[in-house]
Structure 1
Amino acid sequence: MTEISEESISSHFSDYLRPVFSETQQHKNQSFEIRHQVYCEELHFEPERDDRLETDEFDKHALHCLIQHKSSELFAGTVRLIVSDNPSQLLPIELYCKEAIQRPDLFPDNFARNDICEISRLAVPAQFRRRKMDNYEGAAIGMINKEIYSETELRCFPFIAVGLYLSATSILLKKNINHCFVMVEPRLARSMRFVGLPFEQIGPVIDYHGKRAPYYIQPKQVEQNLKQDFKALLQNIDIELQPQI
């Protein structure tokens, strides 16, 4: 199978996937279900819950975004944006990882509370992930049912994570939030930088739900840094999200 070219990423993504921003409990629960699949059942970062909804105290002041697979109407990924209206609403990076930030000028508490955000809990269900092992019967993680999804759709799925980050960027720009933080694996940050997302590492790798490092993003810099077709993808996501926000 050949990969789709950079020139066709935006059109392929938009053909098969759509961003969904909604604060209804139904859509929040869809996010929480995906997070339970990934963070509890698969990665075992959190204990499994009887209701199969993975939530924590930060969800009370978070925005939730989903990517939906159009033809099946299944949700193919989720991400949350933790915001803050007052000093009591700390970001996870402030509460658990502040000592990892080695740029004192970029401590979250340097900025107005309504001007900061942390992106977290990005999750893509196994059926929408592609790995080389997917071609082998019995693959335990990332198995894709090729009887359900077309070859063209399968080529699009690796960009779900990019679509989630671009959806988060679009929401932050619309909410006029200028300082964003994220704790991710360095290899994921490298992948995001490859497409032009300006992940700036501001501290060392630490053990926090796996090996992760703190990164800083300025949403206003994203569009100017993106490779050309990913700019088109961001513009398409903007158009889709505008009436939803």
Structure 2
Amino acid sequence: MVKSKKQTLLEKLGTIVGEKSKIGKLISGYRKLEEANYISSHFSAYLAPVVASSKELKNDVFTIRHEVYCEELGFEPIKESGLEFDEFDSFSLHCLIQHHKSKHFAGTVRMVRPTKPDEQLPIEKYCLNSITRKDLDPSQFDRKDICEISRLAVPKEFRRRVMDKFAGAGVAVINEHTYSEKEVRCFPFIAVGLYLSAAALAIEEDIKHAYVMMEPRLARSMKFIGIKFEQVGPVVEYHGKRAPYYINKSLLQKSLRPGFAKMLADILAALERQEF
């Protein structure tokens, strides 16, 4: 983000008074709020949520997932069809993030929503023993009131591989050669947009309890924007080190920072105009 004169002045003032002083903390908070507002408005300018309500859009979802989960990460075996899907997709809602200009999809996420007694969340089938908060165990609630956010994936088009010259390790960064400078600033928040899209779907469907298996470092980074997932069990080995997390509408809305609360409102408004 290009710094304005006001931002530069605030940085200088913050340095003078000290970051730990009351004024310094106020300045720091104000700067973070301005950045959040900037990102949320630019997200809507370049990206939009799309509910995968048709077979064609669902195939776009499954194609992205195959590229990420099968071809890139090796979490699932390669499929001849080039589509990655499982038993949970039959009772899930899927959301894509679309880049306005190119019409390409920048990511996908699903919300698994069981409605029948024999339909389970992935966390119940594979990681139920990892939930130690028994008061927040999915079995404590009606099937219609629970969901799980899973299969978040961002395709390579919105990243590029930079090889570390010493170790040869791949580090994902944004493909700044394909997109404008302003657009690139939004792309680190594609994952945030996907989580907020899943949250918007849950709000629309009046679902009261949501679960997700994620890396603790991702949960910590989500706190930056005010998405405070509640850890309900220890870290376990499940496609890497992951832990079970819980969130509901109240937890989400009371801590979400203003700029991202606006982003959620914009996403919710966009989804309300779609049929699913």
Q: TM-score, normalised by structure 2?
A: 0.83
| Paired residues of 1:134 and 1:144 also in contact (CA < 8 A) | no
Aligned position for 1:210: 240
Residues 50 and 152 (structure 1), Cα distance of their counterparts in 2 relative to 1, 3 Å cut: same
Tell me how far apart the structure 2 counterparts of residues 186 and 6 of structure 1 sit (CA, whole Å).
22
Q: Does 1:119 align with 2:143?
A: no
1:52–1:156 CA distance, 2 compared to 1 (3 A): same
Structure 2 residue 269 is the aligned partner of structure 1 residue 239 = yes
Q: CA RMSD in A?
A: 2.2
Matches within 5 A, 1:1-245: 5-129=35-159, 133=162, 140=170, 142=172, 144-245=174-275
Distance 1:226 1:129 in 2: 27
> Separation in 2 of the partners of 1:35 and 1:57?
14
One-letter identity of the residue aligned with 1:78: T
CA distance in structure 2 between the partners assigned to 1:31 and 1:234 by the alignment? 21
SS of equivalent to 1:244: coil
Deviation string, structure 1 residues 87-136 (Cα, Å, up to 9, x no partner): 210111111111000101111010000000011000011232478x4899
Q: How far off its partner does 1:222 sit?
A: 1.3
**CA positional deviation for 1:139:** 8.3
Amino acid at match of 2:42: H
Kindly indicate whether the alpha-carbon contact (under 8 Å) linking 2:159 and 2:175 is maintained by their aligned counterparts in 1.
no
CA distance in 1, matches of 2:267, 2:163: 28
What is the CA deviation profile of residues 26-72 of structure 1, one whole-angstrom value per residue up to 9, with x for unaligned ones? 11111111111111111100011111111111111111000000100
2:116 is paired with a residue of what secondary structure? coil
Structure 1 residue runs without a partner (length 5+): none
Q: Distance in 1 between matches of 2:215 and 2:204?
A: 27
State the identity %. Answer: 55
State the alpha-carbon separation in 2 of the partners of residues 221 and 145 from structure 1: 34
Structure 2: how far apart are the matches of 1:235 and 1:134? 38
**Closer/same/farther in 2, CA of residues 30 and 228 from structure 1, 3 Å limit:** same
Q: 1:244 to 1:134 in 2, by over 3 A?
A: farther
> Is the deviation greater in 42-51 or in 122-131?
122-131
Structure 1 residues 141 and 238: alpha-carbon distance in aligned structure 2, compared to 1, 3 A threshold: same
After superposition, the Cα gap between the structure-2 partners of 1:178 and 1:186, relative to the gap in structure 1 and judged at 3 Å, is same
- Unaligned segments of structure 2, at least 5 residues: 4-33
Alpha-carbon distance between aligned partners in 2 of 1:147 and 1:198, rounded to the nearest angstrom: 34
Q: CA deviation at 1:193?
A: 1.7
> 2:196 aligns to what SS in structure 1?
helix
Change (3 A) 1:139 1:98: closer
CA distance in structure 2 between the partners assigned to 1:197 and 1:145 by the alignment? 26
* Separation (CA, whole Å) in 1 of partners of 2:211 and 2:271: 22
Tell me by how many angstroms 1:22 deviates.
2.9
Based on CA coordinates, which of the two structures has the bigger radius of gyration? Answer: 2
Closer, same or farther in 2 for the Cα pair 1:29/1:61, shift >3 Å?
A: same
**Structure 2 letter corresponding to 1:202:** V
> What SS is found at the alignment partner of 1:119?
strand
Give the partner amino acid of 1:194.
Answer: F
**Alpha-carbon offset, residue 224 of structure 1:** 2.2
How far residue 194 of structure 1 moved from its aligned partner, in angstroms, is: 1.7
